[in-house]
Amino acid sequence: MFLDRFLANRRGVELTLEERSLLEGAISEIQSVNSRQTIIEAGENVSVSTFLLEGIISRYIDDKKGLRQLVAIHVPGEFVDLHAYPMRELDHSIGTLTAATIAIVPHSALKDILDPRPELARKLWFSTLIDAALHRAWLFRVGRLDAVGRIAHFLCETNARLEAVKLSNGHRFALGLTQSDIAEICGLTTVHTNRAFRQLREAGLCNMRASLVEICDREALARRGDFDPHYLYLGQSPSTQ
Amino acid sequence: MFLDRFLANRRGVELTLEERSLLEGAISEIQSVNSRQTIIEAGENVSVSTFLLEGIISRYIDDKKGLRQLVAIHVPGEFVDLHAYPMRELDHSIGTLTAATIAIVPHSALKDILDPRPELARKLWFSTLIDAALHRAWLFRVGRLDAVGRIAHFLCETNARLEAVKLSNGHRFALGLTQSDIAEICGLTTVHTNRAFRQLREAGLCNMRASLVEICDREALARRGDFDPHYLYLGQSPSTQ
DNA sequence: CGAACGTTTGAGATGACTCAAGCGTTGTGG
DNA sequence: CCACAACGCTTGAGTCATCTCAAACGTTCG
């Protein structure tokens, strides 16, 4: 039941009941973490992976001046660092953005489950590759879009991801992030992010107050952000644009 | 012998002789491809993966105006799209930048080899995760560095990757790319890339003429580009900064 | 020799940044 | 229950990095 959301609605790799309960059994611990806490520091050796049950977690790279670049965020129902299983150590740090609940999965338990089950291993492999696809979409966002487009794209992506795990109805969702968080995600300053939000609001595309996001015109928002959900590898959800 | 360079000098996942020859046997075909050819279009269904023997191959996402964002480049000794094995279809396109030689590996052959060999499967999984780590470094580059820094970072990365497969001596390497290619990689215009190259040249950090890159001051270049090679998961090569 | 391509330089436009300050909301302690 | 601190949001004005448009120059190759 902890893993109900894992790979939910992902094209072709939904887990069987047996697979789900096997993975469930590999969980060693459930933890609560406060907002804005570092969970793993870049370069650390890790022997467990983290599955996110509640809240938003970020992955980021620090530059030498202490500024950081977010390279991923995770929503409930996703492994945050399953890639640590083959990699052993990480090239980035991990921290909470909001308060969060996580499940800890030791790699030894994972190995016992996966070694005799190539099909399941391939599904987990797939799930780490979705993260890579998200990285690519983020690259596109930062490299090709202007400030308004980046925010539009990010909101479309987040809406689609949350919808897949039933945390958005397609038009409205709670997102515990501040405008500064979104600025960091989109590679912008807080000030400029705020101005871009105003433009989106005035154009009637979307609205964010107190971390509740309301998407007024989903299609127009997707157009403004040049958003094509293909890279999320979702199944055919009824309202996915 | 085709696969000699694959995972060469990668921390902890070097292939055994047996593994190498098994993969070697999975190759169905060797092909030559001209410069600037599309190999795979985004969204296509694929049942083979591509291993790069010679040349430079890019992966890119098109925006709706026909401009493209490069999300990865590959050098000899790397799988270009091993992730197509678990994913089946790709969220980006693939094309050559220079003339190239590639080896084709059908997924069916891969499955036969990997299903009974979880250890080898984990090494291939790892190799796709290095691509993800490269994506993250690219995000850092585009999100946090200025024009000169981005180019410096890219040159440091490329130097290190080519060194791992013995195509750079650490200070000099042939790179069949134009300044426009590097502009696309770094999310800059050609004009501005040219000006940034001049700055690097005048500062005595590096030099690029006719696609031969010469790194004059490796440490200073790494500092300028805020480059830390940790994310490449290389073994301890003698001169890696 | 000429066409195609890549590199280099100039001048002006613009999107995003920096610095600075005011405003609104929330939570807390006296 | 009020006052104040902390935090996030909003706005303004001036600056700067990068972009756009334009043109000249050098190589390579047929």
Query: A197-222, pLDDT tens digit by residue?
Result: 999 999 999 999 878 999 999 999 99
A10 is written with which tokens? 């992902």
Could you name the CATH architecture of B146-232?
Answer: Orthogonal Bundle (1.10)
In angstroms and rounded to an integer, the radius of gyration of the C-alpha atoms of chain B is 18
Q: Return d(Cα A104, Cα A85) in angstroms, integer.
A: 12
Above 80 in pLDDT, residue A131?
A: yes
Checking each nucleotide's C1' against the CA of B149, the nearest proves to be D17
Name the average pLDDT for chain A. 94
Q: Treating both helix axes as pointing N-terminal to C-terminal, what angle do A17-26 and A118-144 enclose, rounded to 10 degrees?
A: 80
Above 60 in pLDDT, residue B78?
A: yes
Q: Dump pLDDT digits (tens) for B200-241.
A: 999 999 999 878 999 999 999 999 999 999 999 998 654 444
Residues of B in Cβ contact (< 8 Å) with A139 = 61, 69, 71, 135, 138-139, 142
> What Å distances lie between residue A55 and A19, A162, A185, A203, A234, CA to CA?
25, 11, 16, 30, 21
Delimiting residues of CATH 2.60.120.10 domain(s) in chain A: 17-126
* Contact (CB, 8 A) for A151 and A197: yes
Delimiting residues of CATH 1.10.10.10 domain(s) in chain A: 145-232
Kindly indicate the confidence band of residue B36, based on its pLDDT and cuts at 50, 70 and 90.
very high
Residue owning tokens 């952000």: A225
Q: Return d(Cα A64, Cα A10) in angstroms, integer.
A: 38
Above 60 in pLDDT, residue A106?
A: yes
What average pLDDT score do residues B162-184 get? 94
User: Do B136 and A71 make contact, defined as CB atoms within 8 angstroms?
Assistant: yes
- Distance in angstroms, CA of B18 to C1' of C9? 57
* Contact (CB, 8 A) for A225 and A155: yes
CATH number of B17-136: 2.60.120.10
Q: Return d(Cα B215, Cα B93) in angstroms, integer.
A: 31
Delimiting residues of CATH 1.10.10.10 domain(s) in chain B: 146-232
Could you name the CATH architecture of A17-126?
Answer: Sandwich (2.60)
- Structure confidence at residue A236 (pLDDT): 65
- Structure confidence at residue B235 (pLDDT): 84
Q: Provide the β-strand partners of residue A131.
A: none
Checking each nucleotide's C1' against the CA of A190, the nearest proves to be D9
Q: Return d(Cα B134, Cα A135) in angstroms, integer.
A: 10
What average pLDDT score do residues A180-190 get? 94
Nearest CB to B86: which of A91, A129, A230? A129
Q: Which CATH class is domain A145-232?
A: mainly alpha
Kindly indicate the confidence band of residue B68, based on its pLDDT and cuts at 50, 70 and 90.
confident
Three-state DSSP at A203 gives: coil
**CB atoms closer than 10 angstroms to residue A145:** 21
Above 90 in pLDDT, residue B65?
A: no
Above 70 in pLDDT, residue A100?
A: yes
Delimiting residues of CATH 2.60.120.10 domain(s) in chain B: 17-136
- Structure confidence at residue A92 (pLDDT): 96
For B165-188, give one letter per residue: b (16+ CB within 10 A) or e: bebbebeebebebbbebbbbbbbb
> What Å distances lie between residue A128 and A7, A123, A178, B46, B180, CA to CA?
11, 9, 27, 19, 32
> Which of B49, B87, B130 is the best mutation test for A, with the most CBs of A within 10 A?
B87
Nucleotides of C under 7 A from a protein CB: 5-11, 15-20, 26
What average pLDDT score do residues A151-160 get? 97
Kindly indicate the confidence band of residue A238, based on its pLDDT and cuts at 50, 70 and 90.
very low
Above 60 in pLDDT, residue B86?
A: yes
What average pLDDT score do residues B57-81 get? 92
Least confident residue range of A59-63, B81-85, B156-160: A59-63
Above 70 in pLDDT, residue A194?
A: yes
The pTM assigned to this predicted structure is 0.95
Residues of B in Cβ contact (< 8 Å) with A82 = none
What average pLDDT score do residues B66-95 get? 95
* Contact (CB, 8 A) for A162 and A177: no
- Structure confidence at residue B237 (pLDDT): 52
Residue owning tokens 């989109």: A186
